[in-house]
Chain A
Amino acid sequence: MARFVVRRLLVMAALLFAISLVTFLLFIVVLPNGNPAALLAGRLANPAQVHATEVRYGFDKPVWVQYIRTMANIFNGTAYSYQSSFNVLDEIRAGFPATLSLALGAGIIWLLSSIVVGTLAAVKAGRYTDRVLTVLSMIGVSMPVFFLGAVLIYFVGYKLALIPISGYVPLTQSPTQWLWHLAAPWFTLSVLFVGVYSRILRSTILDTMGEDFVRTAKAKGLSERQVLLRHILRNSLVPIISLWGLDLAQVIGGGAILTESVYNIHGIGYLAFSSVRTFDTVTLLSIVMLTALAVVLLGALTEIVYAFLDPRIRLV
C-alpha cells in the first residue's frame, strides 16, 4: 500500500512539473512571439525603452531562469499581472469566494439530485418514470449552459421578476441575498451534471442489480429497500463520488466560466476569461496552472482512496 502511494505521488509530482512547464512555455514563449517586452513597452517605445523593460521584467534572461522566477513569484504571491499591475494572487483570492460558493453549492445540489434521479430511474427502469427522467436528462445534457442561463434570466428574472438577474452578494454581507443571487446560477450549473451523473448512476445500479451478492441478499429475505440502500447504493455510489471530486476541482478552477459570465459573477472563471481576451498571460498562467494542479492532486487522492478500498487496483 505504501509503495503504491509513493509511486502515485511521484507520478503526480512529475505531472505537476510538466504541466507548469508546458503552461509557462505556451504563454511566455509562444504567445507574444517570444518577445513580450515589445508588447509591454508600448507602441511608441524605442529600442532603449524596450531593452529597459526587458531588464525590468527579466525577459533577457534565459528561458529556464524566467521559468524559475515566474514559478517562485506565483507561489510566493508576488506575481504581478503585466496588463493591470495588480497582484495576481490578490485578484485570485478576491474572486475565489464567489467561485467557491457557486461551485460548492452547485456541487452539493447536483450530487444529491443525481443520486435521487438516478436511483429513481434505475428502480423504475423501463417504466414511464424512467423514460421521462431519461428524456429530461438528455435535454439537460444537450443544452448549452449559457443558453439555459439566458432563458432563466429572461423568463424568471425579467418577466416574472422572481430572481435577481446578476451579480454576487458575499455571504458575510447578507446570507439571504447570497442565497437569492446564487439560486439561478446553481440551478443552471447543476442541470448539466445531473444529466450526466444520473445516467451513470442508473447504469451502475442496473448492472449491480444483476450481481450475485444482490441475489443472495434478496434470498436472505431483505426487503427491496434494504437491499437497495445497504448493498446496491454503497457499491454504485463510489464511481459517482470520485467523478464528483474531479469535476468539482475543474469547476472551481474555472470550469464555471460560462455560468459566471452569463450571471455576471466575478469569480475565478470570469477572471480567467477576461485575462484571455486581454492577453494577460501571468493571470491566466496562474489560474490554468492552479486548476490543473487541483485536478491532478484530486485525481491522485482519489486513486489512493480507491486503492485503499479495492486492493485489486494496487497492482496497476
Chain B
Amino acid sequence: MATFDPNNPGRALSPGAALPPAAGGLPPSPEFLLADVTEATSEVGDELPPGAGPYELAWRRLKRNRVALAFGGLFILIVVMCLLAPLYSQYVAHIGPDTQNITGTVKVGGKVENIVSLIGIPIGPTWELGHYFLGADATGRDVSVRLLYGGRNSLEIGAVATLITTLLAMICGLLAGYFRGLTDGIISRTLDIIWAYPVLLLGITLSTVLEVRGLGPFHGTTLLSTALVVGFVYVPYVAKPIRAQVLALRDREFVDAARQQGLGPLRIMAGEILPNVASTIVVFVPLILANAILSEAALTYLGAGVQPPSPSWGTMISDGISTIPASFSNVLVPGIMLVLAVLSVNVFGDGLRDALDPRAKIRLGKE
C-alpha cells in the first residue's frame, strides 16, 4: 500500500487526528542540523559556543518558544493533579470516586440540597471545595474526584500505549530497514495489512477479542489490554517513517565503517543507526500520546475500552451524554479536561518538532 517517497508530504494518515511530522518529510537526522549552525542563523546560533551539538541547538530553540513551554507546563500540571487524586479524595473531598450517594444531601452555601434531586437531576458544580466541587453525576458520585481518578486511568493508558507503539515501531522499523530483503517484505506487508483497517474498527475488534478470549496475560478489559490495543493500532504509522529513515541511513559511510570494524548487526543498529533516528522518534512521541488519549476516550465511549464503574474521561463523557438534558456539566467537565490535556500535548509536540526541524529556518524568515 502507500509506499510513498518519504520526502513526499502525501502520506497516508488515519482519521484519528494524527498530525503528520513537518511537511517535506521527517526532521532529518542531526547531521543536517550541524549545517544549520555553520550558516549563522542569527536567532539562535550566536550565543552558542563553537562545537555545540544539534540537540543543544534544538533545546535553545525550544526554550524560546514560550507558547510550547507554557502548554508543556499545563500538561505537567494536569498530570500532577491527577497523580494527587488520592490525596484530593481523602483530604479535600472526603469521598471516593466510586461512592454513590443518590439519596444524600449536601450543604451548599448554607442551604441543604439534595445531591440528586427527586426527579433525578444531579447537583451542578457547587464551586465549594469539599462539597461536590464540580457537581455530582447521575448516581451521586463526586465529579471532581472521578475526574482526577479518571485522569489517572486515561493518562496511564495513553502513556503505556505510547510506550508500546514507540517500542514496537522502533523494533519493526530498525529490523525492516536494516536487514531489507525478506525481513523487510514480511514486516512491511504486515504493517500495511494493519494499516488498511479503519483505526477505530480495528481497535474495537481487537478489544472485543481480548475481552472474549484473552491473549496470554491480557484478559478482559483491564487498563493494560486497552493500552495494548490502542498502542498496537498506531504502530504502522510510526514504523513506516522510521523504516524509511533507516533505509536511507544504512548506506552511509559511518555504517560501512562500523561494519568493517567488525561490529555485529545488533551493535550497529543500536549504536550507530538508533541515535540518528532518535530525533524522529522523539517528534512522534507527543503526537502518539495525544492520539492515544483521544483513541482511549473514543473506544471507551463506544463501550470497548475501560468499563464502568472504573472512571476514565471516556466513561465520564459517555455517562454524561446519556443524561444530557439533566446535567450537561457532566459532559462538559471531563470533555474540557480531555481537550486541554490533548491540546497541551499537541502544542508542545508542535513546538518540539519546530525545534528539531532545521527547515524552520525558512519559516522563521517569514515571521
Which partner residue on chain A sits nearest B347 by CB separation? A138
Contact count band on A? 35 or more
- The A224-243 residues at the B interface (CB cut-off 8 A) are 238-240, 242-243
Closest to A126 in B: B367
Judge whether A251 and B205 touch: CB under 8 Å: no
- Check if B367 sits within 8 Å of A125, measured CB to CB: yes
A250 touches B343 (CB 8 A): no
Q: Of A14, A27, A239, A255, which one neighbours B199 at CB under 8 angstroms?
A: A255
A220 at the interface (CB under 8 A from B): no
- The interface residues of chain B lying within 8 Å CB-to-CB of A262 are 321
Closest Cβ of chain A to B200, distance in Å, is 5
| Residue B290 lies at the interface, judged by CB distance under 8 Å to chain A | yes
Structural contact, B9 and A203, CB atoms closer than 8 A: yes
Let me know if B196 and A150 touch, CB within 8 A: no
**Min distance, Cβ B361 to any Cβ of chain A, angstroms:** 10
Instruction: Pick the residue among A147, A251, A277 that contacts B331 (CB under 8 A).
Output: A147
> Are A15 and B196 touching (Cβ within 8 A)?
yes
Q: A15-B189, A158-B325, A243-B13 are in contact. Are A144 and B335 (CB under 8 A)?
A: yes
**B365 to A, closest residue via Cβ:** A210
Decide if B339 touches A139 in the complex (CB within 8 Å). Answer: yes
* A258 touches which of B10, B298, B346 (Cβ 8 Å): B298
In contact, B204 and A30 (Cβ under 8 angstroms): no
Contact A288 B205 (CB under 8 A): yes
A18 CA / B185 CA spacing, docked (Å)? 14
A26 within 8 A of B: yes
Q: Is B56 an interface residue (CB 8 A)?
A: no
B18 in the interface (beta carbon within 8 A): yes
Check A81 for interface membership: any CB of B closer than 8 A. no
Contact of B302 among A139, A246, A253, A273 (CB under 8 A): A273
**A151-B332, A243-B13 in contact; A144/B294 too (CB < 8 A)?**
yes
Q: Which residues of chain A come closer than 8 Å to B338, judged between CB atoms?
A: 144, 147
- Residue of B whose beta carbon sits closest to that of A313: B5
* Interface flag for A267 (CB, 8 Å): no
Given known contacts A31-B213, A142-B343, A316-B5, A299 and B362 CB-to-CB distance under 8 angstroms: no
- Contact assessment for A153 and B324 in the assembled complex, using a CB-CB cutoff below 8 Å: yes
**Which stretch in B19-27, B170-178, B223-231 binds the other chain?**
B19-27
Task: Say which residue of B1, B204, B205, B359 sits within 8 Å of A300 (CB atoms).
Answer: B1
What are the interface flags for B298-312 relative to A under an 8 Å C-beta threshold, 1 for contact and 0 otherwise? Answer: 100111100000000
CA distance A204 to B209 in the complex (A): 41
Contact of B15 with A255 in the complex, beta carbons under 8 Å: yes
Complex partner residue of B9 from A139, A145, A239, A251, CB under 8 angstroms: A239
Known: A145-B298, A299-B12. A196 touches B19 (CB 8 A): yes
Whether the Cβ atoms of A158 and B17 lie closer than 8 Å is no
Contact flags (1/0) for A140-179 with B, using CB distance below 8 Å? 0111111100110110001000000000000000000000
Q: Which of B1-48 contact A (CB under 8 A)?
A: 1-5, 8-15, 17-20, 22-24
Which one of A32, A257, A261, A299 contacts B201 once the chains associate, using CB atoms below 8 Å?
A257
Q: Which of B23, B297, B359 contacts A144 (CB 8 A)?
A: B297
- What 0/1 pattern do residues 201 to 237 of B give for CB contact below 8 A with A? 1101100110011000000000000000000000000
For B10, the closest partner residue in chain A by CB is: A239
CB pair B335–A147 under 8 Å, yes or no, is yes
Whether B23 contacts A250 by the Cβ 8 Å rule is: no
- Most A CB atoms within 10 A — which of B9, B198, B199, B338? B198
CA distance A141 to B320 in the complex (A): 22
A250 vs B233: C-alpha distance when bound (angstroms): 15
Contact present for A18 and B213 (CB under 8 Å):
no
**Residue among B8, B213, B324, B346 making CB contact with A150, cutoff 8 Å:** B324
In contact, A291 and B208 (Cβ under 8 angstroms): no
Which residues does chain A contribute within 8 Å of B347, judged by CB atoms?
138
Contact of B200 among A26, A257, A303 (CB under 8 A): A257
How far apart sit A144 and B366, CA to CA, in the bound complex (Å)? Answer: 33
Give bound CA distance, A238 to B339, whole Å. Answer: 31
| Docked complex Cα distance between A238 and B328 (Å) | 43
Chain B 347-364: CB-based contact to A (< 8 A → 1; otherwise 0): 100100000000100110
Question: Taking each of B23, B192, B332, B366, which has the highest tally of chain A beta carbons within 10 Å of its own beta carbon?
Answer: B23
Contacts of B189 in A (CB 8 A): 14-15, 18
Verify if A296 is at the interface (C-beta below 8 Å from B).
yes
Q: In the complex, A33 Cα to B212 Cα: how many Å?
A: 8
| Contact mask for chain A residues 197-239; partner B; CB cutoff 8 A; 1 contact, 0 none | 0011001101100100000000000000000000000000011
Cβ contacts A to B, 12 pairs, < 8 Å:
A15-B189, A142-B346, A144-B335, A150-B320, A158-B324, A193-B15, A203-B9, A204-B23, A239-B11, A251-B15, A299-B1, A306-B4
> Ordered nearest first, which 6 A-B pairs have the shortest CB separation?
A239-B10, A203-B23, A126-B367, A142-B342, A142-B343, A147-B335
- List chain A positions with a Cβ less than 8 A from chain B: 12, 14-15, 18-19, 22, 26-27, 30-33, 125-126, 138-139, 141-147, 150-151, 153-154, 158, 192-193, 195-196, 199-200, 203-204, 206-207, 210, 238-240, 242-243, 246-247, 250-251, 253-255, 257-258, 261-262, 272-273, 276-277, 279, 284, 287-288, 291-292, 295-296, 299-300, 302-303, 306, 312-313, 316
Apart from the given pairs A238-B10, A239-B8, A306-B10, 7 other A-B contacts in the complex at a CB distance below 8 Å:
A15-B196, A126-B366, A150-B317, A158-B325, A247-B15, A257-B201, A292-B196
Q: Which residues of B contact A (CB under 8 A)?
A: 1-5, 8-15, 17-20, 22-24, 189, 192-193, 196-202, 204-205, 208-209, 212-213, 290, 294, 297-298, 301-304, 317-318, 320-321, 324-325, 328, 331-332, 335, 338-339, 342-343, 346-347, 350, 359, 362-363, 366-367
